[in-house]
Amino acid sequence: MKTQPSLSELSQSELRQMMADLGHGRYRADQIRVHAWRGTAAGFHGATNLPGELRSVLASELRWKTLELIAATSADRGLTDKLLLRGYDGQEIETVLIRHTGSSTTRSRQTVCVSSQVGCAIGCVFCATGQLGLRRNLTAGEIVDQVLEAARRWGSADLGPPTNVVYMGMGEPLQNYKEVVRSIRLLSEWGISPRRVVVSTSGLVPEMDQLAQEGLPIRLAISLHAATDEVRNRLVPLNRRYPIAELIAAGMRFSGRTGRRVSLEYVLIAGLNDGEQDAAALRRLAAGAGAHVNVIPMNPIPESPLRAPSQDHCRQFAAAVGPRATIRFSRGDRAAAACGQLRAAMQSEKRRLDRTAERLGSLPLPV
């Protein structure tokens, strides 16, 4: 299905050139982008500081946005929000908005966790998104529009703009390499410094090496989840193609090329990767790679027998990994917005509502 180009797919220079081609000043492009970022217009017709003729032309030739907001949930006293967004083809994705208020030693930040694909083909056993399989890649514009949606939402509440973006939502970013890299470059023009961007990967080694050559000072997070190939083969099927030694070596090459530290993401699952030997092996890997470790207790997934260890056991595991490890108890799980939960909880809730409606003899209830 062919669609019109969108505002979010155009670079600033491309939009300025479009204005010039239409016989208007290039500054009109900047006015349009201010409306899109601040949410002061819901479409081109609402940008009343533009000439009426220009608004009509733009509305017919350019999409204001690529995604429609369908639903939103909130947790952590409003600090975490999950947005369900629908694309032009009816496919749905999720975006998570996380506010950190800061402290005496840390500054406040507003992070957007974006999806890069509809579903995911990697098939990690602890991840709800992987249960969907891969539906399609997102365009760079669809990725950028997730951040613009966050900007509008926070802006309308006088909370300030997004400051950080992490590619940790639905999908494997490096399987959608071209569009992900383009979206990072586009976001830099909206004010998101690449230094405040983190791309997470389950271990596509050739693409990791390619990303290191892009000249983007982003950070890379490796979704490791096991410290031995025997265990990781069970948790992350991709490990059979790119085992841990190759993956860590690629991470070190990335760090050496970019000067940016690589982090290791480690979802902790009771009885699978949470033993003393696992902690010792992870400690050695992190030390050898000079990497920080984020220990993440597994978030619950509907109909899955896997679960996280107790909080005390999680703390003991992180302590055994050593000073390079930080334990990250999820803030988003109550909104079904935490790592590995995306989409599955919404699907489960829809099934529950449909069953209720069927018993009542009425039409399915909206989600």
Of 153-162, 211-220, 331-340, the range with the lowest mean pLDDT is 331-340
Tokens 């009885």 belong to: 271
Share of the chain above pLDDT 70, in %: 89
Instruction: Return the ∠ at Cα 205 (arms to 265 and 92), rounded to 5°.
Output: 65
The pair of structure tokens assigned to 351 is 């099934």
What pLDDT, on a 0 to 100 scale, did the predictor assign at position 190? 97
Residue 347: pLDDT band (50, 70, 90) is low
Cα distances from 155 to residues 48, 135, 161, 328, in angstroms, run 19, 32, 6, 28
Round to whole Å and give the CA distance between 246 and 239.
Answer: 10
Q: What's the full length of the chain, in residues?
A: 367
Our answer to whether residue 265 is catalytic in this structure is no
Q: Residue 283: left if φ>0, alpha if ψ -120 to 50, beta else—which one?
A: alpha
Tokens 């983190």 belong to: 198
168, pLDDT greater than 70: yes
Residue 343: pLDDT band (50, 70, 90) is low
Answer yes or no: are the C-beta atoms of 342 and 129 closer than 8 Å.
Answer: yes
What pLDDT, on a 0 to 100 scale, did the predictor assign at position 182? 98
Pick the CATH number of 68-350 from 3.20.20.70, 3.40.50.980, 3.40.50.720, 2.60.320.10: 3.20.20.70
* Identified catalytic residue from 94, 142, 172, 207: 94
325, pLDDT greater than 50: yes
The pair of structure tokens assigned to 105 is 């030693």
Residue 107: pLDDT band (50, 70, 90) is confident
What pLDDT, on a 0 to 100 scale, did the predictor assign at position 108? 85
Mean pLDDT, all residues of the chain? 89
290, pLDDT greater than 80: yes
Between 106 and 349, residue with greater pLDDT: 106
AA letter at 353: L
Round to whole Å and give the CA distance between 173 and 210.
Answer: 13
CATH 1.10.150.530, domain 7-61, yes or no:
yes
**6: which DSSP letter?**
B
Round to whole Å and give the CA distance between 146 and 165.
Answer: 10
Confirm whether 7-61 and 68-350 share one CATH topology. Answer: no
pLDDT tens, residue by residue, 55-86: 999 999 999 999 999 999 988 888 999 999 99
Residue 330: pLDDT band (50, 70, 90) is low
Residues near 84 by beta carbon (within 8 Å), at least 6 away in sequence: 69, 70, 71, 72, 92, 93, 94, 346, 367
DSSP 74-106: EEGGGTEEEEEEE-TTS-EEEEEEEEE---SSS
Answer yes or no: are the C-beta atoms of 364 and 331 closer than 8 Å.
Answer: no
Residue 338: pLDDT band (50, 70, 90) is very low
End-to-end CA distance of the chain: 26
Answer yes or no: are the C-beta atoms of 167 and 173 closer than 8 Å.
Answer: yes
Instruction: Locate the domains of the chain by residue range.
Output: 7-61, 68-350
354, pLDDT greater than 80: no
Answer yes or no: are the C-beta atoms of 324 and 292 closer than 8 Å.
Answer: yes
Residue 103: pLDDT band (50, 70, 90) is confident
* Identified catalytic residue from 113, 124, 127, 339: 339
Cα distances from 60 to residues 28, 54, 55, 68, 107, in angstroms, run 17, 10, 9, 18, 43
Taking alpha carbons only, the member of 313, 201, 342, 334 closest to residue 264 is: 201
The model carries a pTM of: 0.89
Our answer to whether residue 94 is catalytic in this structure is yes
DSSP 242-294: S-HHHHHHHHHHHHHHH---EEEEEEE-TTTS-SHHHHHHHHHHHHHHT-EEE
